[in-house]
Structure 1
Amino acid sequence: MLFVRYLRLLEIAIAIAISVGFLPPLFAQIPSNPIRNEAHPDLSGGGRPDDRSGAAAQAVIFIEPPRNTPDLSSGGRPQTSGGGAASRGTLGNRKESIQLLIPRSNRGLTAEAHPTFWFRIDGSTDDVTEIEFVLADKDGNEIHYTFLEASEINPGIMGITLPSTVDPLEVDGEYQWSVFVYREELQQNRWASGFIQRKDPSLEVAGEIAAANSGREQAVIYARNGFWYDALTQLATLQHNGSGDPQDWRDLLSSEAVRLNSAIDKPILDCCRPE
């Protein structure tokens, strides 16, 4: 068992070391007045379009903020001998499929000091022994490590929130997060990796968020201003609680900059979601 644990820790270290060289500054300066999305109104409450205004009248569509780095969602991204790309993950008929819930660019912004990281496990989990989550800074230094035991793992969408006992993410700090899925046979392990940067919203955006009347309206504001992790967490929480509009969840995950359509109908599990 000690030898197996050693191999796992070594695999994590190698994976992060391979990927960390691909972590340049994530985004250019976000303009204080980004493009607004005026997509179809939210009529989930039964009202007419002219009954609503501002964020309440807009669909939850994610708009990618300007960035000054290459797109790592395709060619040029690092690979691992374990079989999982350092990207959103692998999907298909293989039972070990894993998918990170992040935009196509493989990176996203958060305004939170302790954000939540969402991912999906697809297919059978009968032989999954554990899942490990690792957050590292741009130099490859481990910030947080946690694991889920077999009893906590089921197919579906899971979220791991950075605990308040961990130092908050630094403003403008850039980080890489990775999820490792371990199965009974070591050669079947899979992992996927994505990137996150903490940014302070502009005064205008912060004011809109503070004035929002609901978590749904906050999600609209976060999404249209490029704060992916915060928009996703707002809607995932609403969906799990049964108080969200399924169309909002569909709109966010099917946004042009996201295209996570295969995850739309997957259950959001109790494990590790924010309180």
Structure 2
Amino acid sequence: MNKDRQQNPWILSVVSILLLQLVATSSSANNLLFKRLSIGFNAPVLAQSLPANIQYSPPDRGAPGATGSGGARAYEKPTILESDENFTRTRGSSTPAPETLQTVPKECASTTPTLLVPQNHIGLTTSSNPTLLWYLPSKDAEIMIFELRKAGEKEPIYAEQLQPSAGIIQMQLPKDKVKLEIGAEYNWAVSVSCVVEGKRRKISVEAGIKRVAPTPELTGQLSKANTPQQKARVFAQKGYWYDALETLSTAFTTNPNQSTYADILSLLDQVGLN
């Protein structure tokens, strides 16, 4: 894994340089967990000196964790959408569908978010209110909006306008507003404003999440884990992406250390975020 990280300097340098320990605030009165993940070590040096011990095993795509209520369906990798939708309202049936982008317009490269999710399968969680993470290259976007929808539905079940903040952002779904259902798939998206050829556009990046019930085996192994880092490794080994990353990010925010840092870098690298 050290060799792989040396071949992927982008993620190493971005994570080590960009992230300051700041708490950003939402534009609403809700007290959301919306903050930047603070990492202040030298990533290239760490990658050479401290191997990570976490191993992510993607869930079986033919198992219940990889299917929707209507049966198995193809996974759509994180999608980038562009539209001229007004940011003051959500997309409805009368609004033209956004265009799927193969490449991000050059004008939007510095403000388009990257969702920290697996690139070839839907991520799983056992939580009704998981923490979601994404990376924003800069805070130049005028507006940033978070939206959560049930898979296959157009209208969001939750939406929130947030203050753009450069770096890796972590946001917990508010417990008084949202509760993911066991067995249900959802799409979450982060949208930013961008001016393309003189016109204000909305650039959205969307990915999937599914809540599943924890298995007795998972519960048993978690009960034997003595530290958050050990719990994160159990989640990762059993294929619960969102739980593993959330546990690591929370642990690192509480007690920054090189071992947790190495696990975060390794986890991101293992799902193609290089």
TM bin, normalised by shorter chain, reads 0.5 to 0.7
Whole-Å separation in 1 of the counterparts to 2:173 and 2:239: 20
Aligned counterparts of 1:148 and 1:99: Cα–Cα separation in 2: 16
Partners in 2 of 1:91 and 1:207 — Cα distance? 48
2:113 aligned to which of 92, 98, 105: 98
Residue of structure 2 equivalent to 1:70:
74
Give me the whole-angstrom Cα distance separating, in 2, the residues matched to 1:157 and 1:91: 22
Check 1:169–1:253 CA distance in 2 against 1; reply closer, same or farther (3 A cut): same
The corresponding residue for 1:192 is 205
CA contact (8 A) 1:73 1:106 kept: yes
The TM-score with structure 2 as length reference comes to: 0.63
Q: Find the aligned partners of 1:167 and 1:79 in 2 and give their Cα distance.
A: 24
CA RMSD of aligned residues (A): 3.0
**2: CA distance, partners of 1:244 / 1:186:** 44
Name which of 110, 131, 136 aligns with 1:116: 131
Please give the alpha-carbon distance, in whole angstroms, between the structure 2 residues aligned to 1:66 and 1:142. Answer: 28
Distance of aligned partners of 1:118 and 1:169 in 2 relative to their CA distance in 1, 3 Å threshold: same
Q: Which runs of 5+ in 2 are unaligned?
A: 1-48, 63-72, 85-97
Displacement after TM superposition at 1:60 (Å): 1.3
> Shift of the alpha carbon at 1:240?
2.9
1:60 pairs with one of 54, 57, 64: 54
Q: Which runs of 5+ in 1 are unaligned?
A: 1-42, 45-57, 262-275
Q: Distance in 2 between matches of 1:86 and 1:94?
A: 12
Structure with higher strand content: 2
* Map of 2:161 onto structure 1: 147
Q: Is the 8 A contact 2:80 2:206 kept in 1?
A: no
> Which position in structure 1 is the counterpart of 2:217?
204
Q: Which residue of 1 aligns with 2:139?
A: 125
1:27 corresponds to which residue? none
**Residue 181 of structure 1: how far off its partner (Å):** 0.8
- Once the two structures are overlaid, the 10-residue window that deviates more, 61-70 or 165-174, is 61-70
**Is residue 252 of structure 1 aligned with residue 267 of structure 2?**
yes
Cα deviation, residue 248, structure 1: 1.0
Does structure 1 retain, via aligned residues, the 8 Å contact 2:83–2:202?
no
- What is the CA–CA distance in structure 1 between the aligned matches of 2:174 and 2:225, rounded to whole Å? 26
CA pair 65-210 structure 1, distance change in 2 beyond 3 A:
same
Following superposition, the deviation at residue 214 of structure 1 comes to 0.7
Q: Which residue of 2 aligns with 1:5?
A: none
Given that residues 120 and 156 in structure 1 are in contact (C-alpha distance below 8 angstroms), is that contact kept between their aligned partners in structure 2?
yes
TM-score, reference length from structure 1: 0.63
Q: How does 1:216-235 map to 2 (within 5 A)?
A: 216-235=229-248
In 1, distance between residues paired with 2:60 and 2:101? 22
Percent identical pairs in the alignment equals 26
Name the aligned partner's letter for residue 145 of structure 1: A
Contact 2:80 2:204 in 1 (8 A): no
Q: How many angstroms apart in 1 are the aligned matches of 2:223 and 2:104? A: 38
Q: Find the aligned partners of 1:78 and 1:161 in 2 and give their Cα distance.
A: 22
User: Aligned to 1:109, what secondary structure does the other structure show?
Assistant: strand
